[in-house]
Structure 1
Amino acid sequence: MKTDAAILARRTPPNPQTKVVVRRAFFYAALAILAIPFVLPTWWMITSSLKPISEIFAFPPTLWPANPTLDGYTKAFEMQPFVQQYFNSLYISFFVTVGTMFISSLAGYAFARIRFRGQNLLFLIVLIGLLIPSEVTIVPLFQIFNEMGLINTHWPILLVSTFGAPSVLATFIMRQFFISLPIELEEAARLDGLGRFAIWWKIAMPLAKSALGAVAIFTFLHIWNLYLEPTVYLQSPELFTLPQALTRYTDAYGGQLWNVQLAAATMTALPVLVVFVIAQKQFVEGLAQTGLKG
């Protein structure tokens, strides 16, 4: 009897659910190991912002502060108008993101659905804008805005960012998405008496939520981290954006106040991380649905 039971046990196939559980366990373990190089710097930044300067560079490094302190966060607000600078970054990122979404969706729909002479050549010229570094155009743009009296205002950043490289990439993404939409939707809308603008607004835009979400996320992240343009155009600390403000936390001798910088960097990065974690599904779906058709 024992021999027959042992043979039967060897012949019995393993439970499929057990295989799935083991496979998932290995998969998540591998993901956790691969995530360490990406999570560890963020963890070090957050925990080091709670350390005194002497403990930040202690060896061996610690993963948690021995004596947590909020001194870095307090000084971040005392040394600069950090609240105003935070608001500057928020409202600039918001208006540039909304403007980019509006312009890129209009241009993308036009390139995808309106046929005209020289269409492909014009679209190629637009895409060439992605190949021109911002450092090449910063000097002539500075001279133009200086003649207009707009230096040390937010207008150069708003205008250059809205009509610059992020808008070009957004236009490409929106064009690819609109090309993938069935032409029958547009034909049915025309039979109902809708014009071009009405079709774009009432038919195409509601279907383009995932693509618009992707455009919104990468545009917001780009503008939130923008450094060159604010450094060139802005001079007053009250007008600074956050990336520019982070470099100004120094002592009387020009040395870096690392705990204050890390505290300010933590407050700068955490909202963006939260937004990306919440909206990453829309971001991935938007890029996936644009495809490379056309």
Structure 2
Amino acid sequence: MIVLAGLLVPNEVTIIPLYRMFDSLGLVNTHWPLILIPMLGAPSVLATFIMRQFFITLPKELEEAGRVDGLGRLGLFWQVSLPLARPAIGAVSIFTFLHSWNLYLEPIVFLSSKDKFTIPQALTQYVDAYGGAMWNVQLAAATLSALPVLIIFVLAQRQFVEGLAQTGLKG
């Protein structure tokens, strides 16, 4: 339950401490904060929950059979548990990718040069000479930016659905 408490804290609350931390490390205006935040932030909490739920559902008989075959703890993990966890890992990968793809606040805070903008941030740069939004261009670009996400979901749909079904999550 303590791990899930990390989901209760909004990103907006942690953005200033994160900025100060990345600034002291000299990582502001680089892509490193945008890489590390999804790996260590809310998606990692959800990933921990999904993977925990999956491993709880593994039957003890599999572990006992592996022990009879002479596997140690590491061998059980690599040869029994990890191959069975592919659907859960696929679901976690999709969730983490979607979170990374849709970051908006973090790039605004951590990036200052336009050549490093992410797609959601770059979409706001389509303005006319008077500073008004060019809605037709923005919506066309937003539609194109959704294509990679849709393609990944279509290709990994089976793993995604199996991963959520095996962890006991209802959607």
TM-score w.r.t. structure 1 length? Answer: 0.54
Q: Where do 1:102-251 residues align within 5 Å? A: 124-251=1-128
Q: Distance in 1 between matches of 2:118 and 2:82?
A: 32
* Residue aligning to 1:252: 129
Percent identity, aligned pairs only? 69
Comparing 125-134 with 269-278, greater Cα deviation is found at: 269-278
Letter in 2 for 1:228: L
Shift of 1:194: 2.9
How far, CA to CA, are the matches of 2:74 and 2:33 in structure 1?
Answer: 29
State the Cα distance separating 1:243 from its structure 2 match. Answer: 0.7
For 1:228-282, what per-residue CA distance to the aligned partner results, in whole angstroms no more than 9, with x for missing partners? 1111101111111111111111122211112221221122011212222333232
Q: Which amino acid aligns with 1:281?
A: R
Does the 8 Å contact 2:38/2:99 carry over to 1?
A: no
Q: Kindly state the Cα deviation for residue 187 of structure 1 after the two structures are TM-superposed.
A: 2.3
- Is the partner of 2:131 in helix, strand or coil? coil
Give the distance between the partners of 1:135 and 1:142, measured in 2 at CA: 11
**How far did residue 193 of structure 1 move?**
3.7
Unpaired runs of 5+ residues, structure 2, are none
The whole-number CA distance in structure 2 between the counterparts of 1:161 and 1:218 is 10
Report what 2:160 is aligned to.
283
Q: Give the conservation status (yes or no) of the 8 Å contact 2:63–2:76.
A: yes
In 1: Cα distance, 2:87 partner to 2:144 partner: 28
Query: For residue 15 of structure 2, what is the amino acid of its counterpart?
Result: I
State the AA in 2 paired with 1:211: A
Deviation at 1:176, TM superposition (A): 0.8
SS in 1 for 2:129: coil
C-alpha displacement of 1:152:
0.2
Runs of 4+ in 1 over 2 A off after TM superposition: 187-198, 277-282
Letter in 1 for 2:18: L
Output the TM-score relative to the length of structure 2. Answer: 0.91
Q: What one-letter code is carried by the residue in structure 2 that aligns with 1:271?
A: P
Q: Which moved more, 1:147-156 or 1:260-269?
A: 260-269
Aligned to 2:145: 268
Number of residue pairs matched by the alignment: 169
Aligned-partner residue type, residue 280 of structure 1 = Q
Q: Which amino acid is 2:60 matched to? A: I
